[in-house]
Structure 1
Amino acid sequence: MEAVLDIADWPSALDLFGSQSTLDPAGLGAAEVYPLTVWMTWAFGAVFVLVMAFVLLAWLRRHPARPWWIWAGGIVLPLVAIVAVLVFSTAALVATTREDPDALIVDVTGHQFWWDVVYDPEGLALRDANELVLPEGRAVTLRLTTADVIHSFWVPSIAGKMDMIPGRTNVLTVTATETGRFRGQCAEFCGLSHPLMAFEVTVLPAEDFDAWLETTRGEARDAARPSLLDGRETFIREGCPACHEIRGVAEGGRLGPDLTRLGARPSLGAGMWRMNQGNVAGWIADVQDMKPGAQMPSYNHLSGPELRNLSAWLVSLR
């Protein structure tokens, strides 16, 4: 059990670009989209070959224009193709957006340039950031919205993409069918650091997922070494709780990601950097260097000991 739940030791999203593939379905939504992708590729490949053959025939034989060619190739063929794609894609869309009354509800809010995640908002209300943990074989309804501009939620291996639109909540029901770690990405240009707005999805066996929820619902667990206590004091003194929440230490901050279990996450900066003390210290000192456009000021006025203690304390949070 411990080996499964200690997901901080798993590799960062920097190492997982191979897991972001629509050609390797690991969820029911991706399994619905995959045959549609294959069918469209073959069908429109055949259409392309046929059209090129007609072009070559017309070029070589130089026949006068024939009306039936225009009707067949310019009107009938595109109409049939568009209707067929509409029918099959609508069926796939319905299958991936249908709500399950027994599904776990998870709210996901897109920000420039990070992800706010709340599990069971009407009950447990466990808040996390830049990472989504799912149970294998169990339906999860994602309620997707945004706090600023249009974003798009996409985990190619698990489900199709869904836009996140200001003032609107879109619903995407996902069911992961394989355990492991998968990479997601914002699929709608949302600003300077749009390509740096990734996230990670961890799929656990259903019983291990329940245990994970139980072990992460409490207050932050940090070691009580003197240097770490100094780091906690620096966090409070510098006004970080105005933006960041840490359960048991600072409550109510919503402008930035929840940091309660920061050290347990495999990556930093929405999937861009491996989680370790050096990267956390660099992020605090000069965030714009690590992620241009991030909505956070740099704290380069901190002394060396203050920065070391603060970053060590943040990494200790589990």
Structure 2
Amino acid sequence: MTVGSSPELRTDGSRGSGGASARPRLRQVVSRLTLVAIFASLAVLLSGCEVFSSPQNTFSPSGTVAKDQKDILMLTLWPALAILVLVEGLLVFILLRFRRTKNSDVLPKQTHGNNKLEIGWTVAPIILLAFFIPPTISGIVDLGRTPKDAMVVQVNGFQWNWGFEYPQPDGTTIRAPIGSPPSAPTELHIPINKKIELRLHALDVIHSFWVPKLAGKTDVIPGRENHMWIEGTEIGTFSGECAEFCGIGHATMRFVVVVQSEEDFQAWLKQQAAAK
């Protein structure tokens, strides 16, 4: 007497088709859940990227130099992004379209080169570089040339703070108060829409002067005077920092640039002169 039924045994020793058909479905579910997990993780990661509110956001410049540098960057970024999407898209398409399947034991037709394609992807980068070179060189030359009518500020970098000095026409020097970063950083005050020449000196080790929203980085080297210039086009306070590891206190070597009206700047200068 038959008490119950059992799965049918195949000639190869395996059980009936129920378990075999369930396995592909399980793999399909696992693959989809994996994709969902990947995209969910990316969404969580991107949610923490405060691009526009970040004080280090170079894509939202507040100065002439930073804007020119951003324009050069964007000139190369968009074509590079288009090439990235094209190449990665082709890779994904090829991997999916020509992937090996269970029933494909025959070796597909092999391709060992394509002269036209190889010439094309050799010539195309040359044309792109020829397009990028003139504006890049022009930007480097213009930004490296200090404007003649710029106001001079002496910048002294030392472990682990900054000092700012303002030479005056009468031969005196007005010094900004040294702060206590990171809670009370030293302030570099400049008038709005005024070109400022920064003469950079290091008093001990190599530092790097960087105000992301106003200009790129410039090394500050012992025994050598480096130059850069900035111009604030928006009134406000902008974060700056040392961008070169310079010792145990490097992380706290911060300062702020205060861009203010000409009247407020002159009033601040008089206040510092009176406090000497």
Q: Does 1:151 align with 2:207?
A: yes
5 Å-filtered alignment, 1:214-253, equals: 214-219=270-275, 247=276
State whether structure 2 residue 236 is matched by structure 1 residue 180. yes
Q: Is the 8 A contact 1:105 1:121 kept in 2?
A: no
Whole-angstrom CA distance in 2 between matches of 1:83 and 1:112? 43
Give the direction of change, closer, same or farther, for the CA distance of 1:34–1:212 in structure 2 (3 Å limit): same
* Residues 103 and 71 of structure 1, relative CA distance in 2, 3 Å threshold: same
Partner of 2:113: 65
RMSD, aligned α-carbons: 2.5
Q: Percentage identity across aligned positions? A: 34
2:147 counterpart (87, 90, 100)? 100
Corresponding residue of 1:46: 82
- Deviation string, structure 1 residues 50-105 (Cα, Å, up to 9, x no partner): 333454576648632223433433x4344444454443333333333322222210
Judging changes above 3 Å, is the alpha-carbon distance between structure 1 residues 83 and 150 closer, same or farther for their aligned structure 2 residues? Answer: farther
In structure 1, what is the Cα distance between the partners aligned to 2:172 and 2:191?
16
Distance 1:51 1:127, change over 3 A: same
Task: Return the match for 1:167 from 209, 223, 228.
Answer: 223
Q: Distance in 2 between matches of 1:49 and 1:104?
A: 45
**Partner residue of 1:87 out of 117, 120, 134:** 134
Does residue 18 in structure 1 map to residue 54 in structure 2? yes
1:55–1:208 Cα change, 3 Å = same
CA distance 1:56–1:98, shift in 2 (3 Å): same
- Specify the alignment match of 2:63 in structure 1: 27
Indicate conservation of the 8 Å contact 1:106/1:121, yes or no.
Answer: no
Question: What residue identity is the alignment partner of 1:150?
Answer: I
* Structure label with greater radius of gyration: 2
Q: Relative to 1, partners in 2 of residues 1:198 and 1:85: Cα closer, same or farther, differing over 3 Å?
A: farther
Residues 196-275 of structure 1 aligned to structure 2 (within 5 Å): 196-219=252-275, 247=276
Q: 1:189 to 1:62 in 2, by over 3 A?
A: farther
**Counterpart AA for 2:204:** D
Q: Matched residue of 1:157: which SS?
A: coil
Indicate conservation of the 8 Å contact 2:166/2:174, yes or no: yes
Q: Secondary structure at the match of 2:83?
A: helix
Q: Deviations over 1:146-182 (max 9, x none)?
A: 1222221111111222122233222112111111111
Q: How many residue pairs align between the two structures?
A: 203
SS in 2 for 1:119: strand
Question: Is there any run of 5+ residues in structure 2 with no aligned partner, and where?
Answer: 1-52, 99-108, 179-185
The amino acid of 1:52's aligned partner reads E
TM-score normalised by length of structure 2: 0.65
Report the AA paired with residue 117 of structure 2.
Answer: W
The residue number in structure 1 matching 2:173 is 125
